Amino acid sequence: MALIAQGPERRHPQRRSLPNRRERDTDERHAASPRRVRRRRPRRGWIGHNRLVGTRLLLVRHGHSRAEEDGIVGGHAGCRGLSARGRLQVQSLARRLDSAGVTALVGAVYASVLPRAIETAEILTPTRGPVTDCALCEIHEPTRDGQPRVPSNLRTVEDFSRSSSPRAESYAAFFERAARRLSQIAESHPDTTVLVATHAGVIQAAMTIFGGLSAGQGFQLAIDHASITELVHDPPTTSPFSWGLVRFNDATHLDASLGPGPVL
């Protein structure tokens, strides 16, 4: 069978249907009235999915210390400030906060009275000195200060209520002291970003007490040197929660050479 070439297909132009009366009325009504944009009212305490509003507390664990290099307990007598590695860790965090515009937002700076925490705060906010407060220190154990570090002998919940010596704090008293001071700081600076250069034990206390637990309950937390734990405090209105957690142990600014530090 022979193939027959076919000519171009004839196309008919599409007919546009005229709008009916209901469509005309709707179009005229929309043209006459300004477009209304429905705005969602933010819930108290939240911005977007996971952003809390209120006092922003940036808890920064100090950098690696000389006491840790020497393997001793760095209390009031044993602490000799940051090691060279610790300064590099905190400088890395300072660059991150500055590039993100966070440093400019900080309205108040606090630190414990121990030199490693004070140095950390001064590196992070060089234009303002921190308010120092002993309530932001690690557990007070004067008889162990400056002595070689030994593993903790905490085994039961009852152990957290006992002190290691007559002059020492129990962990329960330490957790309550640290959490109470952090609460006071947050309440003193409403809707402000507050940077607190402190210690792993204080951050553990905040996570425990503000999470509704007691000393000896919950997890033992690994908290890296120069890491950020961000909490937000908003006095409860319709919600029973006054504390929110935005980030925990964020150390993404540290590369492998600066590495995470030891636990607690």
Q: Which CATH superfamily is domain 54-148+160-250 in?
A: Phosphoglycerate mutase-like (3.40.50.1240)
* The pLDDT value given to residue 65: 97
What average pLDDT does the segment 44-53 reach? Answer: 48
Give the pLDDT confidence score for residue 13 in this predicted structure.
53
- Residues in the chain, overall count: 264
Report the pLDDT value the prediction gives residue 22, as an integer from 0 to 100: 59
Give me the mean pLDDT over the 239-262 stretch.
Answer: 80
Q: What is the pLDDT of residue 34?
A: 55
Contacts for 31 with CB less than 8 Å, ≥ 6 apart: none
Q: What is the mean pLDDT of the chain?
A: 82
Predicted local confidence at residue 44, as pLDDT:
39
Kindly report which listed range (28-37, 85-94, 137-146, 240-249) carries the lowest average pLDDT score. 28-37
Residue among 92, 95, 64 at smallest CA distance from 80? 64
Digit-coded pLDDT (tens) for 49-77: 346 678 999 999 999 999 999 999 999 99
Q: What is the pLDDT of residues 102-117, one digit of tens each?
A: 999 999 999 999 999 9
Buried b (16+ CB within 10 A) or exposed e, 66-75: bbbeeebbbb
pLDDT for position 18 = 57
Q: Is the pLDDT of residue 40 over 80?
A: no
4-18, 109-123, 217-231, 238-252, range with the lowest pLDDT: 4-18
Average pLDDT for residues 39-45, to the nearest whole number? 41
Q: What tens digit of pLDDT does each residue of 159-175 get?
A: 777 777 777 899 999 99
- Ranges 54-58, 123-127, 141-145, 259-263: which has the least confidence: 259-263
- Provide the whole-model pTM: 0.77
Quick one: which of 66, 96, 186 has its CA closest to 136?
A: 186
pLDDT band at 14 (very low <50, low <70, confident <90, very high): low
Q: Indicate the range of 97-106, 123-132, 230-239 predicted with least confidence.
A: 230-239
